Amino acid sequence: MFCLAAALFGAMILLPLYWQEVRHQSLIATGLLVAPQGLGGALALPFAGKLSDRLGGGPPALFGVTLCAAATIPFGLIGAHTPILWLSVAMFVRGIGIGFGFMPAMTAAFASLQRSELPDATPQLNVFQRVGGSIGTALLAVVLQRALAGAHTPTAQAAAYGTAFWASAALAALAIIPCILLVRAERAARAATAAQLASPTTSSQRRPRRERRAGGRHRRGHRVTPVRSTWSSGVASEAAPGKVRSS
């Protein structure tokens, strides 16, 4: 969660600054220009949930982080007059990567916990997410500040933002490693579960228990009936002489 948050949320500080500092857009226009990334994430979330139910959280998270890293590469080539449509399409694709990358990883993290561990794990995961996003944002801000030193023209400023976006792409590529580990861990868990269910020792151990239970119920049924018949016959044998005596 730490690496994912640093990679996915750290770059969100760069786009608004680029639109305002290099392209001289207003606040409202900047908010509208970064909207395609949110739309891509909102579109990807339902599909990411369905894939997580079928395949687990590892494969969708790996696909999302890889797509996010690939969609960040065009921003490394950004210029002072890059078409807005091209940047909007790249932001939309990056938003899809964020939707596929972050939510399945959270789902897989919670699915690997016991019910008693959820109250403690929830705040810890949130802390890792917040700290990772903060460190990623601070790291990219430092890279951007150093790249902007001595950049006085829009072209030089755009090149400085391109350097910061390359660092963001490197963070996203670094987040691929824990996703691969997550995929391997889920495969190992599924293989262990399948082997446990398919093992003949488990079924052979369960079968005698059922047979012993059924045999115990059968024997108890046979025991009760003779006791009742003996008791009733004894009462009958004791009552019969009484009637003879009274008569």
Tell me the C-alpha distance between 183 and 195, whole Å. Answer: 18
Note the pLDDT of residue 200: 63
pTM summary value? 0.72
In which element (H, E) is residue 44 found? helix 35-55
Residue 25: partners with Cβ closer than 8 Å, 6 or more residues away: 19, 33
Note whether 166 and 228 are same-domain residues.
no
Cα dist from 8 to 40, 207, 223, 247, whole Å: 13, 52, 71, 104
- Look at residues 64, 51, 17 and name the one whose alpha carbon lies nearest to residue 165: 17
Is residue 95 a contact partner of residue 44, using CB atoms and an 8 Å limit?
yes
150: region left, alpha or beta (phi > 0 left; psi from -120 to 50 alpha): left
Average pLDDT across each block of 10 residues of the chain; the chain has 247 residues. List them in order: 73 88 91 92 89 84 90 90 92 91 78 75 80 86 89 90 91 86 78 78 51 50 47 43 44
Tell me the C-alpha distance between 149 and 145, whole Å. Answer: 7
Is residue 2 a contact partner of residue 132, using CB atoms and an 8 Å limit?
yes
Note the pLDDT of residue 151: 85
Note whether 193 and 225 are same-domain residues.
no
Note whether 131 and 216 are same-domain residues.
no
Note whether 194 and 226 are same-domain residues.
no
Structural domain ending residue among the three candidates 198, 220, 242 = 198
3-state SS assignment for residue 22: coil
Q: How many domains does the chain have?
A: 2
Note the pLDDT of residue 232: 43
Query: Residue 242: inside a domain, yes or no?
Result: no
Residue 169: partners with Cβ closer than 8 Å, 6 or more residues away: 69, 72, 73, 75, 76
Note the pLDDT of residue 188: 79
Note whether 50 and 140 are same-domain residues.
yes
Query: Residue 239: inside a domain, yes or no?
Result: no
Note whether 210 and 151 are same-domain residues.
no
Tell me the C-alpha distance between 25 and 162, whole Å. Answer: 18
Tell me the C-alpha distance between 243 and 232, whole Å. Answer: 16
Note whether 177 and 224 are same-domain residues.
no
Note the pLDDT of residue 162: 92
Range of the domain at 221: 201-232
